[in-house]
Amino acid sequence: MSTTHDNKASSRPALDAAAAAVGGAVEAAVGASVEAPVDVIYRAPLWLPNSHIQTIVPALFGRRPAVAYRRERWNTPDGDFIDLDWLVRDPLTASGADSNAPLFVLFHGLEGSSDSHYARTLMAAAQMRGWHGVVPHFRSCSGPMNLLPRFYHLADSNEVDWVLRRLRERHDGPIVAAGVSLGGNVLLRWLGERREDASIISAAAAISAPLDVHAGGRALSQGFGMIYTRSFLKTLKLKAQQKLAQYPGLFDMNDVLASRTMHEFDNVVTAPLHGFRNADDYWTRATTRPLLPEIAVPTLVLNARNDPFLPGAVLPSRSEVSSMVELDQPEHGGHVGFMTGPFPGRIDWLSRRVFGYLDPFTQHG
């Protein structure tokens, strides 16, 4: 389906060995930990010395804030459904969001959900600001299997367009959107394709989006990258089995089970189910870097240069993007990591960075 990373890895046996190694490294280095400054520049603490530890520790061990959700189901125009999880006001806080407060929309990563570590952190930050918040789930990611012979993918901008326009019809206040990994890629594609027509939102942020899907796919098909790939394929293959039970003959399950890389899985499942010729065609058309010059809405594009899912060498320069795009490419942070502070660390730098960028564009009281 895509090349993204998500907190659901915490329940996957494929990461057990990596988690054990990370735990050992954390214990060995904790004495040298220092807290990164609380500012816009990300600096990794010394006890998180490399890209994999910076990626895995926040996902597996980050302390997620408690947030309450209310689920709403929308029927899609093509006869399917999606589930959206809305922030519920905490009765212990002073007040909830008023009707005209900003709405923060978060598009999750591959096999992600409203329960992902980054989703809970960002939604808690929205709630503290008195904002509304919602996590629309991509099809098959909210729990129950979706109905149609399809899933979701890196280029699914029509879905984002439908969701955001429906939210715009319902919400009177400003709307801002963020996407993480796969969700960030789809959001950027929508922004680049729609240009000025995307101004139904006030601003956007894309976090650890795989801007060059081919480069990201290669990174995940070799060395330590295969640890992440195996964890993704474990749940993706289970979903493929469920989909095949719904639609016998939709694809060859033997080929699915034989898939060892994301390219192989995408070639058998994602590409044919969503109208692409093959995985190469899908990855080419899903690559968002060429669309960055077309973006007309203020947009933060945040990518760590040591992201194990996307080589730093393929990140765009200032001259390669629209004047409406702000690039943030810290040397460290991993993939959707950005943990700070002494052991056991905090995962709130990301929310401070994202909302620090979005705040000026909401014009709320």
Cβ contacts of 150 within 8 Å, gap of 6 or more: 80, 139, 273, 274
Cβ count near 167 (within 10 Å): 19
Long-range Cβ contacts of 239-244 (<8 Å, 24+ apart): 239/140, 239/145, 239/151, 240/269, 242/145, 243/140, 243/145, 243/149, 243/151
User: Token pair of 6, please?
Assistant: 């998500």
| Residue linked to tokens 């149609």 | 148
Q: Identify whether the C-beta of residue 186 lies closer than 8 Å to the C-beta of residue 159.
A: yes
Tokens in use for 36? Answer: 């990164």
At residue 207, what is the residue type?
I
CA–centroid distance for 91 within its chain: 29
Which amino acids are annotated catalytic?
A: 181, 307, 335
Strand order in the sheet with 103-107: 69-75, 81-87, 132-136, 103-107, 175-180, 203-207, 299-302, 325-328
Token pair, residue 299, equals 């947009």
Residue type, 165: R
The answer to whether the CB of 4 falls within 8 A of the CB of 181 is: yes
Helix H segments across 70-139?
Answer: 117-128
